[in-house]
Structure 1
Amino acid sequence: MSSDHSAVEELTPVQLAVVQSVAPHLRHNPYDSYAVLRDAGPFVPGPHDMHLVTRHHEAQTIMQDPRWSHAEEPQLLHGDSDVELPGSFLWMEPPEHTRLRGLVSKAFTARTVSGMRARAEQLVDALLAKMLAAGEVDLLDALAYPLPLTMVCELLGVPADAHEHVRRISTGIARGLDPDLLLSPAELAARTAAVHAFLEFFGDLVEQRRKSPREDLITALVQADDAGARLTRTELLGTLLILVVAGHETTVNLIGNGVLALIRNPEQFERLREFPELCESAVDEVLRYDAPVHLTTRTAHDVITVSGRTFAPGDAVIVLLASANRDARAFPDADKFDIARYARGRKAERHLSFGLGLHYCLGAPLARLEMQVVLRAIADRVAAMTLLDEPSYRPNVVVRGMSELHVRLEEK
């Protein structure tokens, strides 16, 4: 018997669930482990003296309380790594967070995003036509990647012939967002290469826009000078990094997870086809049921008591978003996929997949729009979807999703 096996046998069921919740070979289903952790309590001891926040009430309470900071996340997850991911407003607190988020938020107003619907519909129509003609496809390559990749690249002003280069860079960085203790030397090296490639490519693009402005978001950020709100080069590149990764990788997972849920719950697919107006509520149910992002961190900046537990300044927690979203205390039939859960006229607790408070996801309106367009097109044009084999998953813990999803589509 190996020493590693002996060590695993010595773990308590809760300790084992902590390990299994991040195990690469269990990325297809971390939810069983989350259930064990929720049953153990709202706060479960985790790595580096941090506690895992497992339940919805406590997660929601922490995330909407500004005394809990998100700024320390790079240090909590990556420690003294020799590769520093360029910082963005995501890892800042007011007033810096307010200044930078205010600049970027202008690109994601309801009116701006609404204006992107026609382009999203055009892309989905073309991609779905190719998929239906082919019959059998890897849905990630055929739809889930190209749609959000094209949308975010066009928003930023990335040339079309560089989209695939951006995809490769983004994939390496997304894996590197996981805690360093979960990454192999090869994966750490790949993150280093991806960050360097990102800084080189987008650094050049920023300089091009300084010299030759265009109608795109990079130009707008380069030219930003609202009441002294100009971005430094580091702030600008950090902001672009989070827009690319968060605005692309997470939506890839959202689309893939949503299609998989419909295939595995055919009665819900039939319901969507019969009532396509449920597309909007279906997006929120996908976000709750199988979240694209599974965890985030917070650090106490004051003495704070949550559900009877007191945290001192400097205490850190890992908020398990995907576990909170499956908490039966908040969601009846929490493990059931119900596309009408968030339908108008029905009351449901808010899922936490886009965050809360100061750090609510800036790109949420665009992600919703893209997923709504995908679901509506599938409801209108697809008669049946069949899973050809069990999907494979990337080892990613933070930004969790599939690496392949082979399906057969039949046209109406």
Structure 2
Amino acid sequence: MRSCALAALVALALAGPARAAMSDGVVRIGVLTDMGGPYSDNVGAGAVLAARMAVEDFGGTVAGVPVEVVSADHQNKTDIGSAIARRWYDVDKVDAITEVVSSAVALSVQQISRDKDRIFLATGPGTPDLTGKACSPVGLHWAYDNYALGNVVAGAVVRRGLKKWFFLTADYSFGHALESQAARVVKANGGTVIGSARHPLGSSDFSSFLLQAQASGADVIGLANAGTDMINAQKQAAEFGLTSGRQSLAALLVNLPDIRALGLDSAKGLLLADSFYWDMTDATRAWSKRFMARFDGRAPGSLQAGVYGAVTHYLKAIQAAGTDDAKAVMAKMREIPIDDFYTKNAHLRADGRVVRDMYLFQVKTPAESKYPWDYYTLLETVPGEQAFRPLAEGGCPLVTTQ
């Protein structure tokens, strides 16, 4: 009896320091996403599923404590997203927030996370400001950004001889940044930007904007938008006959579910950039088929797979650090190599940018597609150091003050 009591005391003594290093006895991860708006097919419930799969595959615990996933809809509104983030941190004891597809909401959540000393795993937003002027010591940008999309897509189109551009742009921070980055690449490759039109988020009628683009005489109409905005603009452009003449359409941000919504007849031949495609390798196919089995047969887009990768890397860092303290975990996230089915040989820079390869794809024709979700042909792999903005050019105070 005495030996059993002694053993119990020893076990408590050994477990005490480890458990004390883990706040609240649980690691909570919040998936803050668009559940019913223009980006919901690209993230939404699929992003939540990806986070849960990451936790399950990790064993459901980390450093001796359970891991929980909570989720909420920010409705692409900064005030709603900010209120949820504050409540999660202050009341619900959430340790990290991930996803946040809206750039405007993401910039707000990044600042709140910094103020609260909690980690922000940005996977869905496009604005490069997250690793530029708004960078954070406890924030990382996982999947893509608008700078990389502009480099990969706009550069390829201009090099094919289509040099005069007109942009149709979502009128908020994401769209503005996407247009700016693509315009920079167009000009750097000898092209010109002859005009732009900005539309509200969630537009259903693009006729007036498309007529401006058609009248501009541009070689290329660049769609600096995403989700249902991009889909509706592209469908209406086809109805107007914009792409049947000498003008071409370049969609600067396309996710896999967008192609399904468009259909291969409408999307065939489209050039796009992405950080992941489900059918690239045996490893991507194996994970994606598990996802599809739990998601009504729908293949994951890069932003959904990215949540899995970011959450997994976060949990690995907690395990290695033996604590969920944000700064200690971030240090381990920079130290541990990023190498999984989604990401090969990537690293986390001082500004929070995960530097990964990007890919240039072309959408297949209906005749080329042999099975469900067989949509892309890989044209080019662009090394991360070429795709993303150089560290010295971002203006991140964490870099310039070191």
TM surpasses 0.5: no
Larger radius of gyration: 2
Q: Give the TM-score range, shorter chain.
A: under 0.3
TM-score, reference length from structure 1: 0.25
